[in-house]
Amino acid sequence: MIEEDQISRPFGRGSPSSFMVYLLLAAIAFSFLALPPALAADLVGADGEGGEGAAFGSIVLDVYLDAEGRALIVGYLQAEDPEDLAFLEGTELFYDEETGELYAKSDELTSSQGDGTRIEFDADLGWNECHLAFYLPKDAELFAVSCSEGLECSVAEAEDSLKVEVLGYDVDGAKVTIDYNSGS
């Protein structure tokens, strides 16, 4: 074996290898220049006007419920006025318009239904992406889950909770109803 082949050589200024590296870096830089308009189209909607029925953006929320039915809502959403969303009526609310970060506490999401509890979540805007996770008390017994068209749900045990996860893309509103017995 020739010893020179084992020596690593730096890129020379005019070498074909260095030209390829610079060309690759330029392609990456130009691809980032094209990215913001694509993201903006998702935020405004397919019709470009953000009108009713247009997919607006993303809603990604975790909803933690205690045994008494009080809810802590944490996550992100894109909405012009989040206080107009039905699930946020009567909540103590913090919303950062710049980042879309949401933090809310509510007694309004749940109601008593005989021996059980009902969660009614309604976010009536169109959403490009909808990801909701409801964390029920660990000893909760789930009776029923219903979701609006385009949403799929799954149920799993999480550390100290029963997790009902709802996912959907390009949906016209997100309505979720969960009936459960808190087990307490």
Residue-wise pLDDT for 103-112, tens only, equals 999 988 999 8
Q: Give the pLDDT confidence of 50-59 residue by residue, as tens digits.
A: 444 455 688 9
Contact status, residue 174 vs residue 123, Cβ threshold 8 Å? yes
In a 10 Å sphere around its CB, with 0-12 CB exposed, 13-18 middle and 19+ buried, how is residue 122 labelled?
middle
Quote the CA–CA distance of 12 and 17 in Å, as a whole number: 8
Quote the CA–CA distance of 106 and 72 in Å, as a whole number: 7
* pTM: predicted TM-score of the whole model, two decimal places: 0.69
Using alpha carbons only, give the angle 42, 45, 51 rounded to the nearest 5 degrees.
Answer: 155
Q: Give the pLDDT confidence of 88-97 residue by residue, as tens digits.
A: 888 898 999 8
DSSP strands (E only) in 14-147: 55-65, 71-77, 92-95, 101-106, 110-113, 116-137, 141-147
Instruction: Decide yes or no: CATH 2.60.420 for domain 55-181.
Output: yes
> Locate tokens 């890129």: which residue?
11
Per domain, the residue ranges of the chain are 1-44, 55-181
